[in-house]
């Protein structure tokens, strides 16, 4: 699916921030996926999988649940990354699991 600026603007109006993942397939071909922000449920599952030291599974879950358009070669139709391009996109999607540094101390 080719995504133009009008589609990006529509997604931004609907979802707020839109995230772009690009995977270089070779010297002349790049696959791009667009993701909406993860909701709390998606983030909770992804964080649980990160806590289990799983590298690929959190990104697969995010990519499966947040993919809104772009190159179908990056879309996970089964929920599992099957190709090197999908694996690369899933690993990149883990970066959407953002946390801030926090400290706990006695007051």
Sign for the pseudo-dihedral over CA of 61, 59, 32, 76: negative
Residue 30: predicted pLDDT: 96
Is the residue at 107 inside a domain? Answer: no
Is the residue at 29 inside a domain? Answer: yes
Question: Measured between alpha carbons, how far is 42 from 80 in angstroms, rounded to an integer?
Answer: 15
Q: Which domain holds residue 64?
A: 5-96
| Count of the separate structural domains present in the chain | 1
Give per-residue pLDDT as tens, 86-106.
Answer: 999 999 999 988 777 899 999
Strands (E), the chain: 19-26, 29-35, 67-70
Average pLDDT, the chain: 94
What are the phi and psi torsion angles at 2 (to 5°)?
Answer: -80, 130
Q: For residue 1, name the pLDDT band (cuts at 50, 70, 90).
A: confident
DSSP 94: G
CATH number for the domain that contains residue 9: 3.30.2220
> What's the predicted TM-score (pTM) here?
0.88
Give per-residue pLDDT as tens, 36-65.
Answer: 999 999 999 999 998 898 889 999 999 999
Is the residue at 52 inside a domain? Answer: yes
């Amino acid at each position: 699916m080719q995504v133009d600026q009008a589609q990006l603007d529509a997604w931004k109006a609907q979802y707020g921030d839109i995230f772009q993942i690009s995977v270089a397939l070779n010297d002349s071909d790049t696959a791009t996926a667009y993701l909406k922000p993860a909701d709390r449920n998606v983030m909770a599952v992804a964080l649980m999988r990160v806590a289990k030291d799983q590298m690929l599974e959190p990104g697969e879950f995010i990519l499966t649940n947040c993919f809104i358009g772009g190159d179908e070669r990056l879309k996970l139709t089964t929920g599992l990354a099957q190709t090197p391009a999908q694996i690369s996109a899933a690993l990149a999607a883990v970066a959407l699991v953002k946390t801030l540094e926090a400290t706990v101390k006695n007051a």
